[in-house]
A and B are shown apart, each in its own frame.
Chain A
Amino acid sequence: MKNNLNLLLKDILKVEKNFEQMSTNNTPNWDSLAHLNLVIALEEEFDIEITPEEIQPLYSSYDTIARFIEAKQNQYQKVI
């Protein structure tokens, strides 16, 4: 999962390295529009749905996003 996430971040936020240290404070390209592009890409890549209420809290850090994706995928697996 993290490899795919890193590729998305590279593509959308133009980050080349130190993905796991990323946060909105140290990533200048991570603005609100880039965040929306990231949300849409995450939905498509990981086949998850991100609700409007979940979008803003994700505007935080790499770790927050990685944990969120993992939780969503676990949630879907339980349903299936």
Chain B
Amino acid sequence: MITLSHIGIVVENIEDYLKFAVHPTAETVIFDPIQHSRLALIKTNTGRADIELVEPADEQATTYNFLKKTGGGLHHLCYEINSEKDLDELLKQRRIKRFFGPVKAALFEGRKIVFGYTKNREIIEFIITE
């Protein structure tokens, strides 16, 4: 089963972004050394998707050039998926190119994440829930 987990937004500064956000409070703010980014999770309390803010810390962050070029904004959709086996099947079926992961994600209780790129030119993150 696949469910939408969150929408990822790249920002220059998390605190500045929150000043003008519909949901002004981030529940968790951490630094993730693997992604070279500060990350914040905004719980929308909608029972649906949450919002992740990604603040690249340096040039080694994969979102660094995206921020530099676009000034930030909507970056990825994230889905939860049951297992790596289910993910491998989905990537193959939908011809999604895996380009990062699996790595443990500090923001999601150490669960593994994978990033893929679709033929529609979208970045999709997957959280493996097993």
Contact = CB atoms under 8 A, between A and B. Distances in A.
Contacts of A52: 98-101
Interface of A: 28, 31-33, 36-37, 39-40, 43, 52, 55
B97 A32 contact: no
Q: Which of A28, A32, A39 has the most CB of B within 10 A?
A: A32
Nearest to B98: A52
A31 B65 CA distance: 5
A31 B69 contact: yes
B94 interface: no
Interface string B91-107: 00000011111000000
A32 B62 contact: yes
A28 B69 CA distance: 9
B63 A39 contact: no
Contacts of B98: 52
A32 B99 CA distance: 11
B48 interface: no
A40 B100 CA distance: 14
A33 B100 contact: no
